[in-house]
Amino acid sequence: MTLVLRDVVKEYGGRPVLDGIGLEMGRGDFVCMVGTSGSGKSTLLSMIAGLEPVTAGSIELDGVPVRGPGPERGLVFQSGALFPFRTVAENVGFGLRLPAAERARRVEWYLSEVGLLPLAGALPKELSGGQRQRVAIARALACEPSVLLLDEPFGALDVQTKEDMQVFLHQVWQDTGATVLMVTHDVEEAVLLGRRVIVLSSGPGRVAAELPVPLDGPRRLALKRTPEFLALRAQVEDLVRGYARGGV
């Protein structure tokens, strides 16, 4: 599925928040978006998810304009927002309009994909933060979306758990072939996972730079220590810092 944004503008009360955003993503793409706080990253994801209308411009999936939410787009927020009184399996299966046996099979499949099958009967309060995010990701994946929209999905996790989740997400992406658009504050995470990194400037948000990530081989954590990775990370950090100060 292709996702195309053309000249997307968003205003709140006449105040421009995003201005002229363009983006093209093909099937199986993985794009990470970074930018300072308030540059409109979450707003952009909400519009792609169909939860917010655009003020001007267009967002199209396979050439069809987005006019509301749809099952082909899965959205995961920073705090997974699970139903507290439903089990892990019930959370993952919630909203799946399938016959019971098929739904159970689907839930089992995605719980094993995220390594949580043994905790299928647990309640969210019995899980760690990382496990809760895995459930949220499994829930989004269970709808088998063509496009996965991730808004700071690991932002609330400690460094170790976050790194485990980065490796996990990369594996899920490879296994499912989903198109992934991920918003993050973490430049290292963006360079590790993205095949491209988009830097948004702020006030209003614009695409300030789009950098390919030409790193060969598997995206393992050891990659973070290579000179190529460190150079690219520094380049993106300088861009983000520069735009935060009002232009490079």
Closest to ligand ATP by CB, 47 or 127: 47
Q: Are 151 and 183 in contact (CB under 8 A)?
A: yes
Closest CB 228 distance from ligand ATP, rounded Å:
27
17 contributes a contact to ligand ATP by CB under 6 A: yes
- Strands of the sheet containing 147-151, edge to edge, are 73-76, 147-151, 179-183, 30-35, 196-201, 206-212
Q: From the CB of 170, what's the least distance to ligand ATP, in Å?
A: 23
Instruction: Decide: 171 and 218 in contact? Cβ < 8 Å.
Output: no
Q: Which range in 34-42, 90-98, 159-167, 238-246 contacts ligand ATP by CB under 6 A?
A: 34-42
Candidate segments 40-48, 96-104, 110-118, 210-218, binder of ligand ATP by CB under 6 A: 40-48
Q: Which is nearer to ligand ATP, 37 or 160 (CB)?
A: 37
Q: Are 80 and 141 in contact (CB under 8 A)?
A: no
Considering the complex, state which of residue 191 and residue 199 has its C-beta at the smaller distance from ligand ATP: 199
Phi-psi region of 129 (alpha: psi -120 to 50; beta: other; left: phi over 0): alpha
How far is it, in rounded angstroms, from Cα 230 to Cα 29? 23
**Binding span for ligand ATP by CB under 6 A among 31-39, 63-71, 107-115, 230-238:** 31-39
User: Rounded to whole angstroms, how far apart are CA atoms 190 and 31?
Assistant: 8
Residue 185 beta carbon to ligand ATP: minimum distance, rounded to whole angstroms: 6
Q: Does 39 bind ligand ATP (CB under 6 A)?
A: yes
Contacts of 162 (CB under 8 A, 6+ apart): 130, 154, 186, 189
Which residues from 64-93 bind ligand ATP, rule CB under 6 A? none
Q: Which residues of 18-54 are buried (b: 16+ CB within 10 A; e: fewer)?
A: bbbbebebeeebbbbbbbbeebbbbbbbbbbbbeeeb
Bond into 204 cis (ω within 30): yes
Q: Which tokens go with 237?
A: 């950090």
Smallest distance, Å, CB 54 to ligand ATP? 13
Rule CB under 6 A: choose which of 8, 29, 32, 40 binds ligand ATP.
40
Residue count, binding to ligand ATP (CB under 6 A): 10
Q: From the CB of 126, what's the least distance to ligand ATP, in Å?
A: 29
In whole angstroms, the minimum distance from the beta carbon of 93 to ligand ATP comes to 30
For residues 160 and 181, give the distance between their C-alpha atoms in angstroms, rounded to a whole number: 23
Distance of closest approach, residue 40 Cβ to ligand ATP, in angstroms: 4
Which residues are at the interface with ligand ATP (CB under 6 A)? 12, 17, 35, 37-43
